[in-house]
């Protein structure tokens, strides 16, 4: 007998078995009990959270031979056929492969006939957002007023792709991602039924791998069982999935605390030798620092999918770093992650990321800075609290803030003159960002076009037909006359290169170019376009005779000369 995967073997058969979607199942149970079942439902949510499963259970509840009930028996002919997908009256349609208007017309013709053996004729259309606009339009009238024996159930992961006219005719239910804690409990029950021994940390790792999808988590469990057998440990599970264990990140923090570059290089070499994927490592490191930030800022441990032992260990490391430090790490890793995926030198870029974390200097507080200043100004004590309270609120980032000089009482018997310390200035300097306006652009536009022509002749020649119009919010709009459509299209295909040349020439940052099509008068052009229209024979003759009248005889008989292009 062929092997039946866990996701199919343990698919819920009634509403009570569906996990994480109680807000949907409770609504459907109450609708069945109160005889208020809608004629059209649309289930939306991430993959693998129970949309198709709930659709089948609802079909069984309405067609069970024991009667309409929220607890179908599961043993009658109708229930068995629906579970196996063999029912003539419950049709599951794949919206991706049956998306045309012809399939919907067949459905409209079929819906007119009464059910063969069931009480209701139910149409379950999965991935309904894949239907074409013509198919949706053909379905509207039937969906709004279907026969009494027909019910529609739509399932989709892209609810924003479904037309509003369809949504307005359906009762919508949003399925949520299932929490890792709930998924891990379900996986634990499955392992117990399968005779598999597994620890809590492995269960959480498998549940997190599913990313909120019950079906994906069950598929991952299948994979781990195939690799580890009936006795699963966290080391084996991590190795099977190619996911680093959390201890490897604690080792990284120890090296970062020591500021030991040599150890970090050896650490990276060990990661590579163990076959750990660098991208997977960075992804898990991002989650690791996110967990640190949660512990640093909240006391809600339920927001973290880790064991109690790992959380307690993480708390010790959180005392070393501030939330600003952790935010810097998260920002650094997040920005580097996309670059790492496409990098031709992935090992070197990976090392650079970890070296930046290693050599990062923690953010200094103003109190610490003033304490250091007080240690080098002499014997005059400085009241840090009083100084900070007297610092005015800084409105301008370039404004100089003067810290009031400390005042101490000099004893009467003291005759020594105390020199006043110079006031401390806290100055924040920012590199000025060059700014330009449309007038500057217009004045320098000819030089800019010539510069582009030197670097990219083809594009520069096309820019001769352009005209800068307005510059707002770092967006420069340039226009082309409709008769110069070819030049405009070429510039649009090379807009990225032109933008880079613009920012380099005008020494700006992040200015974007937008190309429009609009009539351009010759008198408003910056660069005059040469008229390449060919002259007529008469025009050429007059031009020649104005220069050399003595050549008039060439155009008289018997010569009657003509110009040849």
CA–CA dist 155, 327 (Å, integer) = 39
Assess contact for 162 and 128: CB atoms under 8 A: yes
CATH tag, 258-358: 1.20.272.10
Record the tokens describing residue 469, joined without a space. 């119009």
**What are the distances in angstroms from CA 34 to CA 67, 79, 84, 512?**
14, 22, 28, 59
Please give the pLDDT value at position 311.
83
Supply angle C-alpha 129, 133, 138, rounded to 5.
105
pLDDT at 377 exceeding the cut of 70: no
Q: Where are the domains of the chain?
A: 6-174, 180-241, 258-358, 363-391, 438-524, 534-565
Chain-centroid distance, C-alpha 462: 36
- Which of these CATH numbers, 3.60.20.10, 3.40.50.300, 3.40.50.11540, 1.10.150.570, describes 6-174? 3.40.50.300
- Per-residue pLDDT reduced to its tens digit, 441-457: 888 888 888 888 888 88
- Which of these CATH numbers, 3.30.300.180, 2.40.50.140, 3.40.50.2000, 3.40.50.1100, describes 438-524? 3.30.300.180
Please give the pLDDT value at position 300.
76
Average pLDDT of the chain to the nearest whole number: 82
- Per-residue pLDDT reduced to its tens digit, 464-514: 888 888 888 888 888 888 888 888 888 888 888 888 888 888 888 788 888
Give 435-462 as a DSSP string. Answer: ---HHHHHHHHHHHHHHHHHH-HHHHHH
Q: Give the pLDDT band (50/70/90) at residue 403.
A: very low
CA–CA dist 441, 515 (Å, integer) = 15
Architecture category of domain 180-241 in CATH: Orthogonal Bundle (1.10)
Residue of 115, 43, 128, 35 whose CA lies nearest to 81: 115
Cis bond upstream, residue 558 (ω within 30): yes
Please give the pLDDT value at position 375.
62
What is the enclosing helix (H) or strand (E) of 146? none
- Per-residue pLDDT reduced to its tens digit, 14-47: 999 999 999 999 999 999 999 999 999 999 999 9
Phi, psi of 380, deg, nearest 5: -75, 120
- 0.75 cut: is pTM over it? no
CA–CA dist 446, 464 (Å, integer) = 8
Higher pLDDT, 422 or 352: 352
- Per-residue pLDDT reduced to its tens digit, 249-260: 888 988 988 888
pLDDT at 412 exceeding the cut of 50: no
Mean pLDDT of 70-95: 90
Please give the pLDDT value at position 370.
62
Record the tokens describing residue 440, joined without a space. 């500057």
Record the tokens describing residue 544, joined without a space. 């020649």
């Amino acid at each position: 007998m062929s092997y039946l995967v866990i996701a199919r073997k343990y698919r819920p058969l009634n509403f009570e078995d569906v996990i994480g979607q109680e807000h949907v199942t409770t609504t459907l149970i109450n609708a069945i009990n109160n005889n208020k079942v809608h004629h059209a439902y649309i289930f939306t949510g991430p993959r693998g959270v129970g949309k198709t499963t709930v659709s089948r259970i609802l079909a069984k509840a309405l067609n069970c031979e024991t009667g309409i009930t929220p607890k179908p028996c599961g043993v009658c002919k109708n229930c068995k056929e629906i579970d196996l997908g063999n029912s003539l009256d419950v049709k599951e349609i794949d919206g991706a492969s049956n998306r045309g208007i012809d399939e919907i017309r067949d459905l409209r013709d079929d819906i007119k006939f009464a059910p063969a053996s069931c009480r209701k004729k139910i149409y379950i259309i999965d991935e309904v957002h894949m239907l074409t606009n013509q198919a949706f339009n053909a379905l509207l009238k039937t969906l709004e007023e279907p026969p009494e024996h027909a019910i529609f159930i739509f399932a989709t992961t892209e609810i924003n792709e479904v037309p509003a006219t369809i949504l307005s005719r359906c009762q919508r239910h949003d399925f949520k991602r299932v929490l890792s804690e709930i998924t891990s409990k379900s996986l634990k029950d499955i392992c117990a039924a399968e005779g598999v021994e597994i620890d809590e940390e492995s269960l959480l790792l498998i549940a997190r791998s599913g990313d909120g999808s019950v079906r994906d988590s069950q598929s991952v469990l299948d994979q781990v069982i195939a690799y580890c057998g009936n006795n699963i440990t966290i080391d084996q599970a991590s190795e099977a999935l190619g996911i680093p264990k959390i201890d490897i990140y604690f080792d990284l923090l120890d090296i970062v605390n020591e500021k030991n570059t040599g150890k970090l290089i050896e650490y990276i070499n060990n990661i590579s030798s163990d076959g750990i994927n660098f991208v997977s490592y960075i992804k898990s490191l991002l989650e690791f620092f996110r967990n640190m930030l949660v512990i640093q800022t909240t006391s809600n441990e339920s927001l973290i999918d880790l064991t109690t032992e790992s959380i307690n260990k993480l708390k010790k490391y959180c005392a070393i770093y501030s939330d600003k430090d952790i935010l810097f790490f998260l920002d650094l890793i997040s920005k580097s992650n996309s670059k790492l995926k496409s990098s031709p030198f992935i090992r070197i870029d990976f090392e650079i990321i970890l070296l930046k974390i290693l050599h990062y200097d923690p953010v200094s507080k103003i109190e610490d800075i003033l304490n250091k200043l007080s240690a080098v100004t002499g014997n005059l004590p400085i009241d840090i609290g009083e100084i900070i309270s007297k610092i005015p609120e800084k409105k301008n980032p370039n404004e100089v803030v003067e810290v009031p000089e400390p005042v101490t009482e000099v004893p009467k018997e003291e005759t020594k003159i105390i020199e006043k310390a110079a006031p401390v200035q806290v100055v924040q300097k920012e590199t000025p960002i060059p700014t330009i306006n449309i007038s500057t652009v217009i004045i320098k536009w000819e030089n800019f076009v010539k510069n582009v022509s030197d670097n990219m002749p083809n594009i520069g020649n096309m820019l001769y037909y352009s005209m800068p119009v307005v510059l707002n919010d770092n967006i420069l709009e340039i226009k082309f006359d409709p008769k110069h459509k070819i030049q405009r299209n070429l510039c649009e295909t090379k807009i990225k290169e032109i933008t880079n040349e613009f920012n380099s020439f005008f020494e700006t940052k992040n200015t974007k170019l937008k190309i429009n099509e609009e009539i351009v008068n010759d008198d408003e052009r910056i660069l005059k376009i040469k008229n390449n229209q060919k002259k007529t024979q008469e025009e050429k003759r007059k031009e020649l005779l104005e220069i050399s009248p003595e050549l008039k005889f060439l155009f008289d008989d018997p010569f009657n000369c003509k110009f040849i292009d």
